[in-house]
Amino acid sequence: MVRGRPGGRGLTRRPLLATGLLLVFLLAACGQARENPPPSRSAGPRTGRVADGEKGRLQLSTGPTAPAASAERSCAALPPLETQLAQLLLVGFPGTTAGPVSRRLVDRGVGGLLLFRANVVSGPQVRELVAELQGRAEISLEVAVDQEPGTRVARLAGIVRPSPPARTLGRLPADQVRRHGLAAGRDLAALGVTADLAPVLDVTGARWDGVIGDRSFGADPATASRAAVAYLRGLAAGGVAPVGKHFPGHGASTVDSHRRLPVVDATMARLEARDLAPFRAAIHAGLDAVMVGHLLVRALDPRTPASLSQAVVGRLLRDRLGFRGLVVSDALEMGAIAGTLSVPAAAERALAAGVDQLTLSGHSAVPAILDHLERAVAAGRLSRARVREAFLRVQRFKRVDRWAGCR
């Protein structure tokens, strides 16, 4: 046995005590880490969206959320401006497999991809396409499609279970309408689709093959409201986010906004009583997203299309109707807008008016749009606060919780 110096036993206890305290600290830290895991990239697909029967509002089920302290830290670390702007784009792309164009869009940080019939061969093919692109994204993608009841606007016909046109559904009891929405929602969610650009909330009794026609649930605002709310509740319960369209109401127009700008001459009283009723009902039911149409509604703004109008988006939709969700543009390449404005200029004006997400049928304008928007911010025409607000709304809609504490 080695004899220590005087006081050696005391010196030996101190390292042992320090070691013991270190072990206690490490064990406590491990326990804390287990109790407070780091925030996930996303709360995942919307399989938890359910309708609250008591309050009649759509609600998201609880998913992983970041602790308050983590949310505050991440709020100070928003991505750079270029990424925030890219996240505002919902873009169509070519091909039935993940090719150079779609990969480049994802790598550039676009917030969402829009499926068209040209992207579709079969259910397994769509699932594989979506899964590959979703796996490539740093921030989870919105994957959207126009899949309305009926066959006129149904990009996934033959894969998603068919349903009668909206006008036929409008004559059915609400529970049957909801079941049709539920079936569509489940089929879409199974493919990896996260948002359906439906239902149509326009009120019209025009011929079935008109601009809106039988895509509308009916000519009576009460019928259209009841059926549309039932259908969107079904979609939400099935696992996808519904996007109601075309605010503030396309039903009174016979002009196709894909070709030129429709003009709506209805009085404000008529708009309130008829066209706005289904939107008001859907918002009250908890609708998360509204698509604004390319319409000139003279009673609201005699000079500017609704999709570019602060009077329509800000004063009417936000202030008067109290909508707090995502505002989406119709496709910016449509003739109603592109006939008088370049797509980049239209993108700037839509954002400045209060639109949060910019829809593009194709991908070719994406570089020019992002460059134009960055220059608009640099020049002070578009504020960073407006971009941030839109970016955060897109993330909330997608259930990306990384910036959940940001306001």
Q: Which are the catalytic amino acids?
A: 258, 330
> Is residue 291 a contact partner of residue 247, using CB atoms and an 8 Å limit?
yes
CA nearest 120: which of 112, 108, 128, 110? 128
Q: Which stretches of 56-202 are assigned E, i.e. beta strand?
A: 58-60, 89-92, 112-115, 142-145, 195-196
> Is residue 331 a contact partner of residue 358, using CB atoms and an 8 Å limit?
no
Strand (E) or helix (H) holding 329: strand 326-329
Give residues with Cβ within 8 angstroms of 43, minimum separation 6.
60, 63, 64, 65, 399, 400, 401
> Is residue 90 a contact partner of residue 79, using CB atoms and an 8 Å limit?
no
> Is residue 231 a contact partner of residue 177, using CB atoms and an 8 Å limit?
yes
Measure the CA–CA gap between 347 and 188, rounded to whole angstroms.
29
How many angstroms separate the Cα of 298 from the Cα of each of 53, 295, 301, 313, 334? 38, 9, 5, 14, 20
Measure the CA–CA gap between 363 and 368, rounded to whole angstroms.
10
Query: Dihedral of the CA atoms 75, 363, 326, 178 (nearest 10)?
Result: -130
CA nearest 108: which of 326, 382, 360, 376? 360
Measure the CA–CA gap between 258 and 318, rounded to whole angstroms.
26
Measure the CA–CA gap between 405 and 252, rounded to whole angstroms.
42
Q: Is the dihedral of CA 322, 275, 269, 222 positive or negative?
A: negative
C-alpha radius of gyration, the chain, whole number: 25
Measure the CA–CA gap between 278 and 222, rounded to whole angstroms.
8
Nearest-5° Cα angle at 295, 362 to 268? 155
